[in-house]
A = this chain, B = another copy of it.
């Protein structure tokens, strides 16, 4: 496995491989990799013949009071996981090589990014879309694989590709969970034992909603009314949102009709967790 740290070297390598007709796969990550990332990398390997994992804790997608400096990092374990999953290259640029001091061009989205996490993390998706556009240009992927756990992000990446005409096929992989249902997340490392137990309330509430939809319930208010007590029983620090939205538009829908995203964001102490399911498809 190649370790590539310089953006220019990454791009030269990718442009050469494209000229040779190789099909490049990209899994963009912020590192501290877990089995969820491993699933993305293994999927990318089936879709491409040269697979790059990028590890970059992107400063522009963190708000001023968010956890940029605290975000967990483990470069050596990340490299081992990438190698074990069969990645061909690990792209690990330095922040100073990705953003000059006078960086001034940003990619912004004005519709799908307004609600859900976007409402609570101003500037977050601008940072995500900007760095993903940069990574697409540096890695030149034919296919890029993202996780369904970040559902709004995944929809925004699809919109980025459509609206700016990136020649990239976006693949969204199902959320990987612990045996008890907790969605894998690098931020789970922040949880103490008590918070870890209470964090199960997110997946439990979502499974309850799924079960109700299977039984025929379509009314969004009734679904939310069934979920909210499950979240509240875990005594979260804050329920940021509990939303039922059309999966295409990400706008609230009164009824489950067609693909519908049920998404929650909950804080335990300073740790913000998100989870979601798609129903009605």
Contact = CB atoms under 8 A, between A and B. Distances in A.
B21 A163 contact: no
Interface in A154-172: 159-160, 162-167
- Chain A interface size, as a band, is 20 to 34
Number of this chain's copies in the assembly equals 2
Contacts of A109: 104-106
Contacts of A159: 104-105
A108 B106 contact: yes
Interface in A1-58: 7, 11, 15, 18-19, 21
B110 A164 contact: no
Contact of A165 (B19, B106, B134): B134
Nearest to A248: B102
Scoring A100, A130, A164, A167 by chain B CB atoms within 10 A of each residue's CB, the highest score goes to: A164
B110 A107 contact: no
A129 B110 contact: no
Given A133-B164, A165-B11, A165-B137, A104 B100 contact: no
Contact of A108 (B100, B105, B140, B163): B105
Contacts of A162: 100, 105
A103 B163 contact: yes
A134 B11 CA distance: 19
A162 B165 CA distance: 19
Interface in A102-143: 102-112, 129-130, 133-134, 137-138, 140
A236 to B, nearest CB: 32
Contact of A107 (B100, B105, B112): B105
B104 A11 contact: no
Contacts of A21: 19
Nearest to A140: B167
Contact of A163 (B11, B104, B111, B112): B104
Contacts of A112: 104
Contacts of A133: 133, 164
13 contacts: A11-B165, A15-B167, A19-B21, A104-B112, A104-B163, A105-B129, A105-B159, A106-B109, A134-B163, A134-B165, A137-B164, A137-B165, A137-B167
Interface of A: 7, 11, 15, 18-19, 21, 100, 102-112, 129-130, 133-134, 137-138, 140, 159-160, 162-167
